Chains A and B, each alone.
Chain A
Amino acid sequence: MKTHLKGFKLTSVFILIALASMVFGCTQEKYKESTDETLNITEFLRANEEEYSLFLEILEVTDYASFMNTYGTYTLFLPTNAAIEGFLGDVGAGSISDVPLEDLQELAKLHILSDVVTTVEFNDGKIATPSLQGQFLITGASNINGESSITINKDSRIITSNLEVGNGVIHVIDKALRVADKTLAETIDADPELSLFAEAVRETGWYDVLDQPVTYDQDSISSHVSVLAQTNAIFQEAGLNSIEDLKARYSHLDDPTNPEDSLNLFVAYRIIPELDYLADLAVKSVVLTKAPLEVISVKLASDSLLLNEETFNGIFEPGVQINRAQSDITASNGVLHYVNDNFFIKKRFPAPVYFDVADQPEYRQLSAVFRKPGNYAELARSELSEVTWEGNEAFKMGYLAAATGDGAQLSQAWHGDVVELLRHRTGVINNLAFTTPVIIKGRYKIWVSYRQNARASSSVRVLFNGEALPRLINFTEYGNTELPERVLESQGYKRHLSVTTSRFNSRLAGIVEVPTTGRHTITLESLAYAGGQSWIDVIEFRPVDMDQLYPKFEAGGDGLIYE
């Protein structure tokens, strides 16, 4: 009996242990279900609430918190709590709830881009992708007490950059960005130094134009303008002290509102019909103005931007410098710059235009693709504002920045990029029409450069403003690497790249008379069957009296190579 009892005791102990282990063992083991613990933007803000609670509050009040937590590609300029408090102080609000909801929405949207933009892509001007609010943000750098920082909209400094989160990237800024709510006209009015310029703008009737909100036309081209203003002091240096002086000097018809009156042209010549921050001007050679057919040339000399610096008949005419420090003032409908000298319309002479056909504004906005080797994108006709073609709506025009060192040597193109047309023929993509950059009135030779492909169209006609040029271009033809280049030129070919390769070829399409200064249309019409890709690199417009071979283009780079 005793042993039996002992056995019973032992058994009960075992049963107890077994029961206990079952109870504990049954609770579900917690497996990690996510493979990635990277926070999204809103979660990141919640996790760091002590620093960013106020911006989080704005996102919640405006109902943007949830979509900033969805997957996607965003860039957030994140103001710290101190920055938001500074903003509240500026607008005289005690707390976020005192600010009208609409303003908060605009403010929040201004801080968000719908693309991932790291600081590597910043330059001296606007970020290629506009903010969700619609206004562009401008980047730069400043040095305060020996410490340099990257800046946004001139005075917000980046404290922490390139924080990677699940749905994009965050840059922390020390001052909230402000929506530019004044139009250009109002911005000019607000600066007492510009009173004389403001008066001229009013007298000539341009005030209303500069006061209009931004609109978009059917090609979704915006009505942004850029204004080159000059202060009273600059006018005084030129001996112009009042609006009467201005009228006496310029208004030859005595009617400033008449578009043909010189004072009207004087103002119109200072309005550039596109959004050009200084960094945009620095990479352009010529810009159009609102004065019909008149353009301003831009030159970058060391670090100063000079307008209309030319040598004419051997006489050097110094340019007008842009005041870098004051310029780049964003307004709701454009940007305002200041110049350091009085200037007037200048007669222009033909200048070469090297039209990289792949440099389309819509491709440029794809900042992860544009000129980033190893990337490809394609856009439909309706998405491109400056290119049209005939054919099936389903066929798109490709942009190819080939990977460095690709076997097909496509990366050897100028800027390393080409336009790609799959089956350039009637029924697919044909009559491809590009809007050219500004070309100054005069006689030009047109060279079309391409990457050879045996399956491309063997016969392409080039039309300038609808008029056919004499030579047909054979996109299956290799470049010649043996003939001396001047001999080759006389046959209507050249090697446009340096370092050259037979895979690329450049063909003289013909000579045209450009009738007016401005933007024109160049059309490529395929007359043959094409089963594969055509790759177009660059279309050159060189004045007839200029050297047609040099400068060449840097293969795979951005440079011009002089003889």
Chain B
Amino acid sequence: MQTRITHILAILLAALSLSCDSYLDLRPENGTVRQEFWQTKEDVQAAVIGIYSAMLNTPPSESDLTLAEYLFMYGELRGGMVSPAAFTSNDQSDIITTNILPSNSITTWSQFYRIINYCNTVIDLAPDVLEEDPTLTQEQLNNYLSEALAIRAYLYFTLAKSFKDVPLKLDATLSDGDNFQLETTPQDQIFAQVLVDLNDAERLSVEDYGNTPENKGRITKFAINAMQADLHLWLENYDEALVAADKIINSGQFELIDASPQWFTTVFALGNSTESIFELQYTPENRGPFYGIFLQQPQYLAAPAVLEEVFGVDFDEPENKDVRGERASLVPGTNEIYKFTGLNEDQRKALQESDTHWFVYRYSDALLMKAEALNELGRGAEAISIIEDLREKRAAIAQTQEQVSPQDQDGIRRYILAERAREFAFEGKRWFDVLRNARKNNYAYLDILLGVALRSAPANQQQSILAKLQDPNSHYLPINTFELYTNKALTQNPFYK
């Protein structure tokens, strides 16, 4: 009897000691926990590359549109250069006609905050790896931090330009215990934080990764300078904007490519040209959303007036045309948006190789931002010469040339805006350009914005639209109903009462 009990006990003990190990283990079987990650410099690199990856396509666990689509919609839908197409959703049409409700699904910002959280995680946790992995140098760490800081700054900058006041979260969300009830932070404070982050990022930044795809696909010092110039224009700090733009222009790393039949292929279809500062690097294996939304099931068309009013048509000599217009930005006749699906002047890319990048900043942006800063500083003649040089490179036609005197500051301002419409057609910049110019000097140029809205307004709604847009709050998107429901600390933009 005694021995039997001993045997049973022994077996039980053995079983317990063997199985406990994995039985009581709470770590997930198919994931990595933080304690196991953030050990080596490879982990840090993987996390940083993960940020870029999330900017390209949404992680498979989430169903959301890509960042590029949001950048396109926020920057173009209200800019008057895009029309609805056969597959436009009602929510998209409502934004085109300035008929926006908080329930509009386009106003979901989760894609932005998801990537911001990835950046925050790197910024919070990467510095500790320095102690764990002696092969990680301070300089490498700085470079990684610079990338995360700059991307976070860019995303907050875009959010503040689109929504005005948004919640500001600068630390990583690591557990369910974190406080998710965040209040909105006013736009000017967001801008101030973006500036701090960009300046930090610049200090820590890389100038050259040693190869072109990384120089164009990762954050370099010049990408940060472009963001700084952009931000300073929004803040109306024209001296600083000029300094930042000059850093790019004087670096000697970039130049404009002459207009030729290959220009479109080099700059857009292939990408990573000498005109490029920062692009989202889609590849044939990891394609962007563009083939679907512009060609297969088009959600957007170029507005009917774009070809004639933006790029101009030379009726006497049809072959005389702006290299950026026909078969670069759009296809005449059908008004299909071509920039992201074309291979060259005649052919579109096939679906399998539709890897056209999303162009965040190009060299011409630095040039035109400089022109804008110069003009606001009263140096109109220099601004005009920048525009004229660019126009020459782009074979812009006489129909779109404007005769403005160097003293005509307002004329030059509108000329730059028109040139930006040609240069950056459908690159997600138009609405922000219009808004930035309209809000200068405390909304002294609201007529620019109203003019844009009037052109795309339905005939039976234009009076309401004009009256609504008199209110600066209406220039920003509402916080989505779902966000308000889950985060009670948020306050809705008062226009959307």
Minimal Cβ-Cβ distance residue in A for B465: A141
- State whether the Cβ of A125 lies closer than 8 Å to any Cβ in chain B: yes
Minimal Cβ-Cβ distance residue in A for B333: A498
A123 to B454, Cβ gap below 8 A? no
* Inter-chain contacts of B495 with A (CB < 8 A): 147-148
Minimal Cβ-Cβ distance residue in B for A124: B463
CB interface residues, B 442-497, toward A, < 8 Å = 454, 458-474, 494-495, 497
Instruction: State the CA gap A391–B102 with chains docked (Å).
Output: 48
- State whether the Cβ of B89 lies closer than 8 Å to any Cβ in chain A: yes
Q: A124-B460, A324-B463, A499-B334 are in contact. Are A147 and B86 (CB under 8 A)?
A: no
Q: A283-B459, A373-B90, A499-B334 are in contact. Are A559 and B304 (CB under 8 A)?
A: yes
- Distance in angstroms from A142 CB to nearest chain B CB is 5
Q: A125-B460, A146-B471 are in contact. Are A498 and B334 (CB under 8 A)?
A: yes
- State whether the Cβ of B83 lies closer than 8 Å to any Cβ in chain A: yes
Q: A142-163 CB contact bits vs B (8 Å, 1 = yes)?
A: 1100111110000000111110
Q: A368-405 CB contact bits vs B (8 Å, 1 = yes)?
A: 00001100000000000000000000000000000011
* Inter-chain contacts of B463 with A (CB < 8 A): 124, 140-141, 278-279, 303, 324
**Which residue of the partner chain, among B84, B454, B469, B497, contacts A303 with CB atoms under 8 Å?**
B454
B304 to A300, Cβ gap below 8 A? no
CB interface residues, A 119-178, toward B, < 8 Å = 119-120, 122-125, 139-143, 146-150, 158-162
- Distance in angstroms from B124 CB to nearest chain A CB is 40
- Distance in angstroms from A408 CB to nearest chain B CB is 13
* Inter-chain contacts of B469 with A (CB < 8 A): 148
CB interface residues, A 202-242, toward B, < 8 Å = none
- State whether the Cβ of B64 lies closer than 8 Å to any Cβ in chain A: no
Instruction: State the CA gap A159–B494 with chains docked (Å).
Output: 10
Q: B72-95 CB contact bits vs A (8 Å, 1 = yes)?
A: 000000000001111111100010
- State whether the Cβ of B401 lies closer than 8 Å to any Cβ in chain A: no
B84 to A147, Cβ gap below 8 A? no
- Distance in angstroms from A120 CB to nearest chain B CB is 5
- State whether the Cβ of A411 lies closer than 8 Å to any Cβ in chain B: yes
Q: A123-B458, A148-B469, A557-B84 are in contact. Are A161 and B464 (CB under 8 A)?
A: no
A405 to B87, Cβ gap below 8 A? yes
Instruction: State the CA gap A125–B494 with chains docked (Å).
Output: 24
Q: A124-B462, A148-B474, A303-B462 are in contact. Are A142 and B88 (CB under 8 A)?
A: no
* Inter-chain contacts of B86 with A (CB < 8 A): 404-405, 411-412, 499, 555-557
* Inter-chain contacts of A404 with B (CB < 8 A): 86-89
- State whether the Cβ of B237 lies closer than 8 Å to any Cβ in chain A: no
Interface size on A, residues (CB 8 A): 46
- State whether the Cβ of A435 lies closer than 8 Å to any Cβ in chain B: no
- Distance in angstroms from B492 CB to nearest chain A CB is 11
* Inter-chain contacts of B467 with A (CB < 8 A): 140-143, 148
A118 to B101, Cβ gap below 8 A? yes
- Distance in angstroms from A174 CB to nearest chain B CB is 11
Instruction: State the CA gap A150–B473 with chains docked (Å).
Output: 14
Q: A123-B464, A148-B474 are in contact. Are A302 and B494 (CB under 8 A)?
A: no
- Distance in angstroms from A515 CB to nearest chain B CB is 31
- Distance in angstroms from A122 CB to nearest chain B CB is 7
- State whether the Cβ of A561 lies closer than 8 Å to any Cβ in chain B: yes
Instruction: State the CA gap A491–B470 with chains docked (Å).
Output: 53
- Distance in angstroms from B78 CB to nearest chain A CB is 15
* Inter-chain contacts of B87 with A (CB < 8 A): 404-405
- State whether the Cβ of B99 lies closer than 8 Å to any Cβ in chain A: yes
- State whether the Cβ of A280 lies closer than 8 Å to any Cβ in chain B: yes
B461 to A159, Cβ gap below 8 A? no
Q: A409-440 CB contact bits vs B (8 Å, 1 = yes)?
A: 00110000000000000000000000000000
A147 to B101, Cβ gap below 8 A? no
Q: B390-412 CB contact bits vs A (8 Å, 1 = yes)?
A: 00000000000000000000000
Interface size on B, residues (CB 8 A): 37
- State whether the Cβ of A282 lies closer than 8 Å to any Cβ in chain B: yes
Q: A148-B470, A162-B101 are in contact. Are A405 and B460 (CB under 8 A)?
A: no
* Inter-chain contacts of A148 with B (CB < 8 A): 467-471, 473-474, 495
- State whether the Cβ of B297 lies closer than 8 Å to any Cβ in chain A: yes
* Inter-chain contacts of B459 with A (CB < 8 A): 279, 282-283, 300
- Distance in angstroms from B158 CB to nearest chain A CB is 24
Q: A141-B463, A303-B454 are in contact. Are A147 and B471 (CB under 8 A)?
A: yes
Minimal Cβ-Cβ distance residue in A for B455: A302
Q: A332-363 CB contact bits vs B (8 Å, 1 = yes)?
A: 00000000000000000000000000000000
- Distance in angstroms from B23 CB to nearest chain A CB is 38
B468 to A141, Cβ gap below 8 A? yes
Instruction: State the CA gap A146–B473 with chains docked (Å).
Output: 9
Minimal Cβ-Cβ distance residue in B for A556: B86
A122 to B464, Cβ gap below 8 A? yes
Minimal Cβ-Cβ distance residue in A for B89: A404
**Which residue of the partner chain, among B94, B101, B304, contacts A561 with CB atoms under 8 Å?**
B304
Q: A537-563 CB contact bits vs B (8 Å, 1 = yes)?
A: 000000000000000000111110110
- Distance in angstroms from A409 CB to nearest chain B CB is 9
Minimal Cβ-Cβ distance residue in B for A300: B459
- Distance in angstroms from A326 CB to nearest chain B CB is 13
Instruction: State the CA gap A140–B461 with chains docked (Å).
Output: 8
* Inter-chain contacts of A119 with B (CB < 8 A): 99, 101
* Inter-chain contacts of B297 with A (CB < 8 A): 405
Minimal Cβ-Cβ distance residue in B for A561: B304
Q: A139-B464, A373-B90, A404-B87 are in contact. Are A302 and B497 (CB under 8 A)?
A: no
* Inter-chain contacts of B497 with A (CB < 8 A): 149, 158-161
Q: B279-319 CB contact bits vs A (8 Å, 1 = yes)?
A: 00000000000000000010000001000000000000000
Instruction: State the CA gap A347–B85 with chains docked (Å).
Output: 39
**Which residue of the partner chain, among B458, B464, B470, B473, contacts A140 with CB atoms under 8 Å?**
B464
Instruction: State the CA gap A57–B88 with chains docked (Å).
Output: 45
- Distance in angstroms from A21 CB to nearest chain B CB is 37
B83 to A147, Cβ gap below 8 A? no
Q: A283-B459, A411-B86, A412-B86 are in contact. Are A143 and B470 (CB under 8 A)?
A: yes
**Which residue of the partner chain, among B334, B461, B472, contacts A279 with CB atoms under 8 Å?**
B461
- Distance in angstroms from B195 CB to nearest chain A CB is 27
* Inter-chain contacts of A561 with B (CB < 8 A): 304
Instruction: State the CA gap A48–B465 with chains docked (Å).
Output: 32
* Inter-chain contacts of B333 with A (CB < 8 A): 498
* Inter-chain contacts of B470 with A (CB < 8 A): 143, 146, 148
- Distance in angstroms from B107 CB to nearest chain A CB is 13
Instruction: State the CA gap A282–B464 with chains docked (Å).
Output: 13
* Inter-chain contacts of A300 with B (CB < 8 A): 459
Interface centre among B83, B84, B469, by most chain A C-beta atoms within 10 angstroms, is: B84
**Which residue of the partner chain, among B88, B304, B461, contacts A124 with CB atoms under 8 Å?**
B461
B83 to A302, Cβ gap below 8 A? no
- Distance in angstroms from A88 CB to nearest chain B CB is 25
- Distance in angstroms from B165 CB to nearest chain A CB is 16
Minimal Cβ-Cβ distance residue in B for A172: B497
Interface centre among A119, A120, A302, A558, by most chain B C-beta atoms within 10 angstroms, is: A120
* Inter-chain contacts of B464 with A (CB < 8 A): 122-124, 139-141, 150
* Inter-chain contacts of A149 with B (CB < 8 A): 497
Given contacts A160-B497, A498-B333, A557-B84, 13 further A-B contacts (CB under 8 A): A122-B464, A124-B463, A141-B466, A143-B467, A146-B471, A147-B471, A150-B464, A159-B497, A162-B101, A300-B459, A303-B462, A324-B463, A404-B87
Q: Which 7 A-B pairs have the closest CB atoms?
A: A148-B471, A141-B467, A143-B470, A279-B460, A556-B86, A141-B464, A282-B459
Provide 23 A-B residue pairs closer than 8 Å at the C-beta atoms, listed in order of the A residue. A119-B101, A120-B99, A123-B458, A146-B471, A147-B473, A148-B474, A148-B495, A149-B497, A150-B468, A159-B497, A160-B497, A161-B497, A279-B459, A279-B463, A282-B462, A283-B460, A302-B454, A404-B87, A405-B86, A405-B87, A557-B84, A559-B83, A562-B304
Chain A interface residues (CB < 8 Å from chain B): 118-120, 122-125, 139-143, 146-150, 158-162, 278-280, 282-283, 300, 302-303, 324, 372-373, 404-405, 411-412, 498-499, 555-559, 561-562
